[in-house]
């Protein structure tokens, strides 16, 4: 009988040792998981802060003026020239500048590149710029024209945007400037 009690005590003691080891492993795995989650949160926050920009009244005003700028593109007839806002809509609808015999998207891309080049020439404090014109609805986001980028940004980034309503979504015209 003593041997049965001794064996059962030893067996119980070994089970306690096994459970204690398992508990330590579970604790270690939990600590590693918590550290990994904290690192992922830190990484997401640091990446998000690098891509964001500060809202600027000056850039916002520039975007508003840019959208009202009259172009040389006439979609319907010649004295009815589109401004940049209307040209973006015409581009989205895959229309053609009848007076220039060019697609609205091609002309929009050329025009924006020329305007932004002139901004770089006249404002020495601007070291880089980015222009994004993208269609967005609940399910997708796609560029209306290719993203326009120039320069190397090493300073503060300021931006402004304008929303343009189109059927089943909206177009976001976003301009960012990098200042030294």
pLDDT digits (tens, 9 = 90+) for 16-57: 555 777 778 888 888 998 998 988 887 776 655 444 677 878
Please give the model's pTM, rounded to 2 decimal places.
0.67
Would you say residue 1 has pLDDT above 80?
no
Q: What is the chain's length?
A: 180
Name the DSSP class of 140: -
Higher pLDDT, 162 or 78: 162
Name the DSSP class of 177: E
Query: Which CATH code fits 54-179?
Result: 3.30.1140
Helical H runs in 52-173?
57-68, 84-92, 104-122
């Amino acid at each position: 009988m003593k041997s049965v009690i001794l064996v059962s005590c030893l067996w119980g003691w070994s089970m306690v040792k096994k459970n204690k080891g398992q508990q330590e492993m579970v604790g270690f795995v939990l600590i590693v998981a918590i550290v990994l989650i904290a690192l992922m949160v830190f990484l997401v926050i640091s990446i998000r802060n690098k891509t964001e920009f500060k809202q600027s009244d000056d850039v916002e005003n520039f975007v508003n003026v840019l959208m009202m700028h009259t172009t040389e593109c006439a979609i319907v007839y010649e004295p009815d020239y589109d401004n940049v806002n209307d040209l973006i809509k015409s581009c989205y609808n895959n229309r053609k500048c009848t007076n220039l015999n060019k697609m609205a998207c091609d002309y929009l891309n050329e025009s924006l590149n020329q305007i932004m080049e002139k901004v770089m020439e006249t404002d020495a404090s601007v070291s880089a710029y980015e222009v994004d014109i993208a269609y967005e609805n609940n399910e997708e986001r796609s560029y209306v024209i290719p993203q326009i980028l120039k320069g190397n940004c090493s300073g503060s980034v300021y931006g402004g945007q304008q929303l343009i309503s189109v059927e089943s979504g909206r177009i976001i015209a976003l301009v960012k400037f990098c200042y030294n």
